[in-house]
Amino acid sequence: MIEVNAKTKQWGNSLGILIPRRAVLKGKLKPEQEIRIIIEKPKATKVRDIFGKLKVRGKSTQKALEEIDREFEEDEF
């Protein structure tokens, strides 16, 4: 199973999505191949959620932001 975040794009009267190249290669996807997509609206990230997970007290703002960036990079595909 490959999980990908994608944005919808207008395509005539419909909406479409683009599958990122990394996912295409990893899943060995081909044109006209039937795939299953599960649609889930992501929750909005709140600042208190981020700072609730990370220990930033006593750190400089720059160090705290770097730690937050690393945390988000780990969550990406």
CB atoms within 10 A of CB 21: 8
Q: Which pLDDT tens digit goes with each residue over 55-64?
A: 656 777 788 7
- The reported pTM is 0.47
Q: Which pLDDT tens digit goes with each residue over 8-52?
A: 899 999 999 999 999 999 999 999 999 998 888 777 666 666 656
CA distances from 57 to 45, 51, 65, 75 (A): 20, 10, 12, 23
Residue 76 is encoded by which pair of tokens? 């990406």
DSSP string covering 17-74, please?
Answer: E---HHHHHHHT--TT--------PPPPP-HHHHHHHS--TTS-HHHHHHHHHHHHHH
What pLDDT score was predicted for residue 38? 87
> Hey, where are the domains in the chain?
8-75
